Amino acid sequence: MKAATHFLIAFGLSINLFADSFVSAAFTSLSSVIPSLTASNTTTAYIVELSSAASNSSSKRKRSLTPHQDLYNELRRKDVAFSSGTEWHSEQIFVGVELVLNSLADLDAVANADNVVAVRPVLTFQPPALVRTHSLTGSSDPALPPDTQSTHVMTGVDMVHAGGNFGQDIKIGVIDSGVDYLNPTLGGGFGPGFLVAGGYDFVGNAYTGANTPVPDADPLDTCFGHGTHVTGIIAAQPGNIYNITGVAYKSSIYAYRVFGCTGGVQDPITVNALLKAYDDGMDVITLSIGGASGWSESTTSIIASRIVEKGRVVTASIGNDGAQGAWYPSAPGTGKGVISVGSVENTQLPAINAVLSDGHAPVPYFSLRPFPVTTSLPIYATSKDITVANDACNALPSSTPNLAGYVVVIRRGGCAIVDKLKNAAAKGGKYFFIYNDGTALGVISTGTYIGALIRAEDGAYLVNAFKTNANLRVSFPQTLANTVPVDGGGLVSSFSGMGPTYELNLSPAVMAPGGNVISTMPRNMGTFGVSSGTSMAAPFAAGAAALILKAKGKDKATCKSVKGLLQSTAGMIPTSGVDGAPIASAAQQGAGLINVYQAIQAQSVITTTELLLNDTLFGSNYQLVIIRNPTKKTVTYNIDHAAGITLSTVNPSNGLPNMAPIPTVPQTAGVTIVGKQVTVWPKLIGMFIVKTTPPTGLDAKTFPIYSGYITICSSLGETFSIPYMGTSSRMRDMPVLDQSDVFFEAQIPIMLTGSGYPADAGTSFTLVGSDYPAILYRRAAGSPSILADLVSPNTTVPGAVQARSLSKRGTLWNWLKGIFGNRNNQPTPGTFANVRTVGPIQNVPYSPRHEMEDAERSGYDFVRVQNYLNTTSIANGQYKLLLRALKVTGNAAKQEDYESWLSPVFTVNAPTPSASVSANTTLV
């Protein structure tokens, strides 16, 4: 099960994980959720933001108190039991403290303290998993031939390097798992004068996210590897045996370690790293950390945004949830001004030729080193049918021979590649070819097994030869690898996360190479490796930002302009490599693939680099674009329009998000440009107007996302584009609660016993041990607030909805002041959003939607009716449980803005009843 708010490191998923371990939605036994019913309803750890000065109220408190002491004293006067953790004192960015409360009933007191600005729950980021990494063993491995470094060619980095710009004098902070700076390609040392000039280890090797960190001043990582690969993308030094260089390899790297060898990291550690990177004077900060969210309200998102506002560049990965469809970008990349980065596939892959004994053309297999086989081997196909999707996903039949002397040929798909190899290895297999199933080609993760991906057509040839009993043998020349062009290069990676946010902001902002990127690894993990993920794209963009700052200066104004420069000069990405293919949605690619050379060379300034068109209720049909001409020449600009595809993001039959590949429709927005040619005199500005109308004839229940690009060509030879995006539906109508039967053998939400079995109306519970009711539910969309209250057995709730402008977006502070602060958290009757309640059970803010794989893997949530939110007991009597999810644009004070579900009536019959609490409440 996944927690109500679940976060993933951006590296954690990849093409292969999605393609090879994806399981389509299927029924899950309700009994399988039993182990998940033991967790508590919600967290008691919060990050409390304070004003930068102590309270100036009329009380006699000393003015010399710090804001933190002021808060502690006020809470003690209110008899609030708490413990304090990390304190933050950065008046420019963030003043606050981590608080752990003994009772959630006291959260109201914290929220209403005099100098409290905001209260946000502590979130946990899960660890980066190197699921798609191919490591080498060091200098004894065959070296690649001289490499043109295709990722640099794709993005104009090679041309910037040709001009002598390597990011000199730019400081880049890498917040990740640390770095093996003793890798010679990363400078071979640590401290002033070395490539890795500074940093800090906030956690220590043993930190898991659930124990006490042991910080020190040395960010060396030899047990994880993620941060080392990220660092090499930015700053790998030339002259290594694989002929790779970083994007900004003469910059100074500062490594901030926030992960131990295993486990996750909590928000306070990431906050520490962000603030130290800021205080250390980093010009650019990059985080390949994040979690599917859809919202911009996490603590790290807000702090990253403030750092940007102060004149620093922050890049963050969009996440690897592309298979999950739209509305699923990761925080902190969703923060305002943060450059959220998606991934495109490398145009070149390392490949080595295997030679066939029948004279057929060599078979390239995608690997950095040859199989360690010096004799030829026959082949064995685990299936003679190349259409079998789950080839070798189960144990091989008893008739299978000993496979030790064969090259085993297996079709990709149906399950994880490592599972296939494990099954074949159980029959003695040692060497494996996995032939492709139409998924993007690349270097695959094979665990400890010796295997590599081959093309689908080569796999079909080998299987056919095996069927005809041909005496075909394969040999593996111990020769150098070559880089070869690959279909799909330059296109959006299938794993790259998709937006937009629920606020209809563009995320990702831009794209960078992240699929099949060669970079450094810790020395004990191969020294070099090929990896994939948006974790690779974010540092690439950070390096690109460093090149821009080197070229244009690193003053505050320039730093704040970097995002717009990268967006306006990016290249639009098509949906396929076929000539004339339509343009991919801006929800997938943002502004497109960065071109740092164009960004540096641009003289004209496009001041509007995103056109956010909102929804059909609150959208703006007219957008003004301003162009600034800072040159001494009169410049003419020709403006045009290129439509992108329109995505149908929700299945209208069940209200669930459509998974990738998302269905498309032919309709696009209507676009009229007022002023298609603009001439601007030197040092002046020009402008034009873009009028858009949403596409018509679409089913609003599919929540179509339409997008496209306004193109600008100048007489200076410059080309720019501006993405636009909107939805032709009303966001307030988006279903939040999954009310389908897609994932379980019953329609949800559903009331279960504490043992995980459906509970009928009238079921009696003692609230002893596992004898309690639990409500299982899933979210089809994110919600600003999920509430659960006990109500009287005769309660009914109307299902009307009320419109609210997207511009009136709530914050977690509004959640506390407007929702929690006005709730009666005591076990006595109260009123909230016009519904009489007996007492609150759960309150979860800013939840993402659940993933759309099978429920056991993708998550679900529970409301456990064991006690009230303030931990007091529930009195004996009859009740219903009211589950409510606030609509995306809903007003928290209005019941009609909630999507609601009422449980069947159940009875609490505890052996030691509490003081009576009236259950005879009625709907107001």
Active site residues: 176, 226, 535
Phi, psi of 701 (to 5 degrees): -70, -10
Coil vs helix vs strand at 107: helix
- Which of 685, 710, 705 lies closest to 695 in space, CA to CA? 705
Distance CA 303, CA 308 (A): 9
Going by DSSP bridges, is the β-strand pair 171-176/252-257 parallel, antiparallel, or unpaired? parallel
Going by DSSP bridges, is the β-strand pair 646-647/664-665 parallel, antiparallel, or unpaired? antiparallel
* Token pair for 890: 């809903």
DSSP-assigned beta bridge partners for residue 199: 255
Contact by Cβ (8 Å): 393, 419: yes
What's the Cα-to-Cα distance from 314 to each of 173, 210, 496, 823, rounded to whole Å? Answer: 9, 27, 19, 38
Contact by Cβ (8 Å): 812, 116: no
Angle at 594 between CA 589 and CA 600, to 5 degrees: 150
Distance CA 438, CA 422 (A): 23
Residue 676 has what DSSP assignment?
S
Handedness of CA 486, 487, 490, 492 (dihedral sign): negative
How would you write 844-877 as a 3-class SS string?
EEEECCCCCCCHHHHCCEEEECCCCCCCCCCCCE
DSSP codes joined into one string, 543-563: HHHHHHHHHH--SHHHHHHHH
Contact by Cβ (8 Å): 190, 179: no
What is the rounded (10 degree) CA torsion for 748, 749, 754, 756?
Answer: 10
Which residue type occupies 631?
Answer: T
DSSP-assigned beta bridge partners for residue 636: 679
Residue 113 has what DSSP assignment?
S
Distance CA 177, CA 344 (A): 23
How many beta carbons lie within 10 A of that of residue 796, not counting itself? 11
Put the strands of the sheet holding 685-693 in their side by side order: 605-606, 622-628, 685-693, 670-674
Residue 806 has what DSSP assignment?
T
- Cite the beta strand spans of 38-93 per DSSP E: 45-50, 82-90
- Which of 252, 320, 323 lies closest to 288 in space, CA to CA? 320
Which residue type occupies 552?
Answer: K
